[in-house]
Amino acid sequence: MSKRILIVEDNDLNRRLFCDVLKSRQYEVEPCADGEQALMKAREFRPDLIIMDIQLPNVSGLDLIEEAQRDEGLRDTPVLAVTAYAGSGDEDRIRQAGAKGYLSKPVSIRPFMEAVSKLVD
């Protein structure tokens, strides 16, 4: 059975790229453009990994990671944070919120797939 990955990314191009790359490697993916619906989708889809953009409209990906950590059904699901928000101390803050992996944008395919594999395979 293939691993399931929820992609929370508001940028259409990035979301499609992540989906296409992951599907080509036999992952089952569920895209989500709206951060406000991300945790509801995660509860329904029950992913093995959540790929989370940090800068989302209306809600912070950081807040979503923290909320997922408080959710009994999601707290064991690893989160890979993918963000253009890469200032000093940001990676530490994102990991302290509960992210198990961190990549800064722009993302290259090889490091992206290595990070995904490390968290789900």
pLDDT in tens, 25-74: 999 999 999 999 999 999 999 999 999 999 998 899 999 999 999 999 99
Q: What is the rounded average pLDDT for all residues in the chain?
A: 94
Q: Give the tens place of pLDDT for each residue, 71-105.
A: 999 999 999 999 887 677 889 999 999 999 999 99
Return d(Cα 114, Cα 77) in angstroms, integer: 18
Alpha carbon distance 52, 15 (integer Å): 10
pLDDT (0 to 100) of residue 89: 84
The total number of structural domains in the chain stands at 1
Q: Does the pTM exceed 0.85?
A: yes
| CATH number, residue 106 | 3.40.50.2300
Q: What is the pLDDT of residue 9?
A: 97
Structural domain that includes position 88: 4-120
Kindly write down the DSSP assignment for every residue of 44-111, as one continuous string: HH--SEEEEESB-SSSBHHHHHHHHHH-TTTTTS-EEEEES---TTHHHHHHHHT-SEEEESSPPHHH
